[in-house]
Structure 1
Amino acid sequence: MGREVTVDLDAYVAEHEPQWRRLEQLVRARRLTVAEVDELVALYQRTATHLSAVRSRSPDPALVARLSRLVLAARARLTRGRGFSWARVGRFFSVGFPRAVFQAVPWWAAVAVAFCTLTGFLMWWVAGNPDSARLLIGDQAAAELAESSFAGYYTRYAAPNFAAQLWAHNAWLAAQCLAAGVLVVPVLYLLWVNALNLGVTGGVMISYDRADVFFGLVTPHGLLELTGVFIAAGVGLRIGGAWIAPPAHLTRGRAVAEAGLSGVLVALGLVLLFAVAGLIEAFVTPAPLPTWLRVAIGVAAWLAFLGYVLILGSRQPADPALTRTVDGGRVQSRPSSFS
């Protein structure tokens, strides 16, 4: 009887030995491709099954110990923690963030067009109908806005404190757009409030023949700042769109999860974008420089950002490759942009 068990065990080992050796190679490999990670997951699951079978059929101590070490090593390779790495930071800014922004271009471009159209209409209406400004903010407030308070806003606080306040405000606005995107309506409301504020302010300034002051102060930082808001709102609405009308090949939950993951990447990248916009608004907008130079600085920063996300984002695959991790015996997907 013992002879039969030995023969069966030898045959079992001979049959599966190539898979175990391949798993050992993958565990020891310094870097793995997406296909190799998939192979590692599959071999890990098979070897865990082999270990269970060996334990139940013939608990050979040496073989059980070998397979146990191999399963534990494979599991550690798949689930090990990720420490800080400048390489991952570089990959985030060169791949993850621009790809997430580029994939949402139709959404945030549509937001930008709608917002600018609405804001332009409000400016035109308020500028052409002085009574509307009186009804909206009052005659005295409109006069003060045009004469001093609009320009004074940019010099009211010390530049470093002002930059921090602007960064916090814009980051919070973007976070609201991303977090409330699945509900759609809150994002539209936030956009309307900002379009109304900008449109009425611009209309009042134009009606008082202060259009040069308005656009000279808003343009340097506004191009970059508003683009960040458009991106946040567009990605937020994309999450809502995934919930309302998911792609045919995805479940509603999976579609929202993938769109939400892109939202996380965008949120992290926008933190830096709004920091740059805040620095421009605090230090460049009120600076005693020629208007053309301040505007040129803002336009240069805006074009640099657009070039960055559109060029790098377009070079990446349409769908991010997924690596997999195993947690508690359950296979989960993880975006390669974090690797």
Structure 2
Amino acid sequence: MAPLTALAMPILRRLEAERAHRLAMIGIRLGLATENRKAEPKSLATTVAGMEFKNPIGLAAGFDKNAVGLRALMRMGFGFVEAGTVTLRPQPGNPHPRLFRLPEDGAVINRMGFNNAGVEPFAKRLNTRRVVPVGANLGLNKEGGDAERDYAALLTLVAPVADYVVVNVSSPNTPGLRDLQGEARLRAILDAMRVAVPDAPPIFVKLAPDLSDAGLEAVVEAALDAGIAGLILTNTTLSRPPTLRGAAAGETGGLSGRPLFQLSTAMLARAYLLTRGRLALIGVGGVTTGEEALTKIRAGADLVQIYTAFTYEGPAVIARIKRDLAQLLKAEGMTRVSQAVGTDAARLAKGT
């Protein structure tokens, strides 16, 4: 970690969570963050949905909602970066406070509510030189939104400048949004998007970890019928494990971080058993180590995203996860990360 970044992280952790995030984004925009200059282990390179990745570790949506820090984030060592969630029109999100740390649990609770500056400036910022693939995470406005119309309109604006697109129908902080995971509504949304942009970049649907097994099966069938690229598993959870110790554990919103790991990994594995390679899968939820990244991959993830660990540890966590993942693959005699995909899905689908 660069000296400036190492100095900043302890200071940011002492500030109120959303204020710390705003200051971190200012530092990133000013170019004060760590830049990765190390060669990537060849074993971590992979190809997913027609896109080439130097490594499978990406930044999940939510950190850079307005795509203002893309240039710096792409150079930190991530294999890919996902910006957003962005909505068709600007909106302020939910009232403050709305972001809470649970450091004892390695977790965060948020009820941000898709606060963002709207898709037009977002799309302009996405139109920049790439050093890794960049995704655009799309959401629905809290008021006046029409799912079929708005997701299609969002896709029209970001398709020319995004490497892949994510349909976010799983945030718990926009009323009614998770209802769009129902088979009929999701099919209608994906059909509208396909009509609007027939030659769109790869499309993924991001799901909630609280979806039932039957609901997951319905989503998989809808995704396969629509011919999209894949699924992202998972978003934050509304559940609260009884082991939570943080003072903010009772706050409403979506829980992310370490307590989400087992729940999200089990759902990822069930999705893999249903799809068997017919859809690309991105695993996210509670990853803090190379071993946990490998567990996601063994559950069926072609790619893995981090968020909460990055907010707690900064850029150092990226290099550590990649280094440890490469060493684990080598120890198991694997020369490519893709060789590990789904190798333990049957066990992990049981939540063990």
> TM-score normalized by structure 2?
0.19
Structure with more relative contact order (C-alpha pairs < 8 Å, separation 6 or more):
1
Query: Between Structure 1 and Structure 2, whose CA radius of gyration is higher?
Result: 1
> TM-score normalized by structure 1?
0.20
